[in-house]
Amino acid sequence: MFSFADIVVNGNQLTLRQITEPLSNSSSATAANPYPFGTDINGNRLNDPIPDTVFGPITQTVISAPAPGPSALLDAFSLTKPELDWSSPLLTKFQSAIGSIICWPSQG
């Protein structure tokens, strides 16, 4: 199953959504293999992917018919970067250490 990631950053929040390639309206699932292409974020069986696009190397054209289909959401999560309190003792020591490492060129 091929998938894409949609990543959005808004301020201190990053959101990722993983979606499938377009899917067909049918499934090749069997009793022996009930989830041949896995499940979506809610545990529902995924339908089969649409057939691959066929490209004619000699004519340099697409020779297969378009095959649109719906996608499914595979995974989603958000991360929020915490605000830093620069007055905390740990970060004050960090700032001091960084300041002693960075050497600015002298003005003269």
107 inside domain = no
Domain containing 65: what range? 3-101
Q: Positive or negative CA dihedral for 57, 62, 65, 66?
A: positive
Task: Confirm whether 106 is domain-assigned.
Answer: no
User: pLDDT class for 55, splitting at 50, 70, 90?
Assistant: confident
Judge whether 57 lies within some domain. yes
Q: How many CB atoms lie within 10 A of CB 20?
A: 21
CA gap 9, 4 in Å, rounded: 16
The reply to whether 14 falls in a domain is yes
Mean pLDDT rounded to a whole number for the chain: 85
Written as six digits, the tokens of 28 are: 């090749």
Look at residue 85 and tell me if it is in a domain. yes
pLDDT confidence tier of residue 25, bands split at 50, 70 and 90:
very high
Over residues 76-96, the mean pLDDT reads 78
Say how many domains are in the chain.
1
Identify whether 41 is part of a domain: yes
State yes or no: pLDDT of 47 exceeds 60. Answer: yes
Whether 108 maps to a domain, the answer reads: no
CA atoms of 41 and 39, how far apart (whole Å): 7
